[in-house]
Structure 1
């Protein structure tokens, strides 16, 4: 709603895109702070404090009509979300093993992405110039504290056992995961940061704009489970390559459709479906190769990398809209996912591993569905695996 409000004020692209950048700048700060806070007061207290701050930040955003205040509150909002993600992901990764990590993170992504998409659909019911929609969002943020703080089943990981891992160390242990998550953040930040601006400039109504942004998220929700499930059976890098290619091809098709077309909505659903599972795949791949004691710290660093990439995404995507106009949005998606595709091709060739990761074990339906295209995509790459302790 802040993005729509900014466009209604006819703010320059740099300012409108800067609101998204401010969000991810806060996201970056929050990911750095969260793990330290977890060690001091624990998961539940950190979650409750950040949810309360999030609620206040959203209310202030709606109460004032100042781009300066919006930028500050977007930083605060990003800070809160990053901390909430670190709490959730370190919790879940502490419960997961490599055999079902992709599926567990897929369920997590389905819930978060689906809720985000549902929130975008609710934009239709509110006027972005009024406080009502912001108050409703603040209420939802406050209610989120209840199940975490009141559940008798809440058993959190022991954060004092976490071993610190720096970004340099993470890059040394899992260079593929390091670059993978960074490029995913760049792609998602650019796509989500520019979607509202693109739709508003093309003259779509507030309701139609909400639908356009929502279908990207809902596509992610629909595709995350089968894609992430397949990544538990097949080399996660190859699955990432295939879905990045799918996002590119679908974006090329979107170039030939008007923004107001129903086909554009369908294509954005598919693009989101291919793109958003990439976060779960990259996260699962990285956590496959860190020690159990490093999982909490790795979760924090992954959120940091994703946030840094997403912070840069809108800044890199904005020139596409200014220079190419209507087609700029699709071309930005094509460019970012092409960069990810090239990186994964390089890493697959640099580190050769079997296509199937569960030798002798039954493969899931989704794994079998992806096996043939994954094999075709991997032609020319030998299947001789190296020892796990030098996995990249």
Structure 2
């Protein structure tokens, strides 16, 4: 029942993963100013944010299969157009549309997983979803060098083919069609009053994760890496995100989650400085990027879990959806604030800006912990691989709801 959407997701994100890196690399190699690279990168996240807010209406109106086919077709067109045109302003429009279409894909698949499973099996569904999402992203990065060697347009053609092929599992394999519910995230102002540390963590995580996807490839290319080496090192980052998220999450179950967020932010800042200061050895850099990926990608799910510890049972879904919106806003502004730093300070400006963002986050977490100690964890950590508001409900397990209700009764 779930094989079709998961295979479709794996296939389309395989292409989307390496196109995200290749876009920044091609713009940089063409001598496009850092500010323009930031605008093009930011446009993708603008598309993600807008699509997350409005695409559910289209799915509700035409159904999951037709919506997925529409989004996959639009994704394929944006990839092919990138291969045909090289103007940065055109790419800005294509990446905006690509972000809109990709979040539609996530929305279809995540709502499918949510509505065909139950609260008992959601943990297993999320684990499989994470493997499909991160695994395809890692494989896409590993194949970046080989695809680029085929020619300038080959990667865009391959990505377009993968997008088109991703429709086949959805329409051929047996399935049960789910229905889409309403998406009503809590507003940022309400979340800020309820869980300041959660808002800080999700916003800062949006800044850092977007920077990893959009500007880290540029940094690696400028320090002398060829495209194949860039792909391998980006794969190390994604592998670290996939492998280390659960150990960090289980650690946060046993400790003060605010302290875990503080430590993660401090470690990410230290790793950023070490990458700049230690000898230029690719093996050492791969290890540091693996650890950095694990730390950066773990901040968001720990922040969401911390917020869930404070939320009442009836607001859990709205809280997680609202935090995803805040994370998306951070992703939009990330390239816009970090690319000017790289313009003035060179490629090293990427990791100095990265370190500064994480130091600032650590200071805010320290302040919050002193002012308001973290609440006791009400339920075990759940990973946060979901990309759309509908997928936020996957995290709301029966165990989490019961724990929140028990806390409400005690209070």
TM normalised by structure 2 equals 0.76
Deviation by residue 1:47-77 (Cα, 9 ceiling, x = unmatched): 3322221121111111212212111111111
Which one of 55, 58, 78 corresponds to residue 76 of structure 2? 55
Helix, strand or coil: the match of 1:314?
Answer: helix
Deviation by residue 1:92-144 (Cα, 9 ceiling, x = unmatched): 567676x9988865654443233212211111112286221112112222333
Distance 1:145 1:86 in 2: 15
RMSD of the alignment, in Å? 3.5
Distance 1:339 1:130 in 2: 40
Residue 374 of structure 1 is matched in structure 2 by none
Distance 2:89 2:278 in 1: 36
Residue 365 of structure 2 is matched in structure 1 by 344
Helix, strand or coil: the match of 2:277?
Answer: coil
Residue 154 of structure 2 is matched in structure 1 by 132
Shift of 1:9: 1.1
For structure 2, the 5+ residue unaligned runs are 1-21, 382-403
Residue 391 of structure 2 is matched in structure 1 by none
Shift of 1:153: 5.0
Helix, strand or coil: the match of 1:352?
Answer: coil
Deviates more, 1:103-112 or 1:46-55: 103-112
2:139 matches 1:144: no
2:55 matches 1:22: no
8 Å contact 2:184–2:321 — kept in the other structure?
Answer: no
The aligned runs of 1:296-375 (5 Å cut-off) are 300-353=321-374, 357=378
Distance 1:320 1:255 in 2: 15
Shift of 1:88: 4.4
Helix, strand or coil: the match of 1:11?
Answer: coil
Deviation by residue 1:127-166 (Cα, 9 ceiling, x = unmatched): 2862211121122223333444555454636515x55643
The aligned runs of 1:179-328 (5 Å cut-off) are 179-232=200-253, 234-259=255-280, 261-286=282-307, 289=311, 291=313, 295=317, 300-328=321-349
CA change 1:284–1:36 in 2 (3 A) is farther
Helix, strand or coil: the match of 1:159?
Answer: coil
Distance 1:250 1:116 in 2: 23
Deviation by residue 1:219-269 (Cα, 9 ceiling, x = unmatched): 111212222344455454333333222222222221223555321122111
Shift of 1:330: 2.0
TM normalised by structure 1 equals 0.79
Deviates more, 1:225-234 or 1:306-315: 225-234
Helix, strand or coil: the match of 2:86?
Answer: coil
CA change 1:29–1:256 in 2 (3 A) is same
Shift of 1:192: 2.6
The aligned runs of 1:96-107 (5 Å cut-off) are 105=126
8 Å contact 1:31–1:300 — kept in the other structure?
Answer: no
Distance 1:341 1:205 in 2: 34
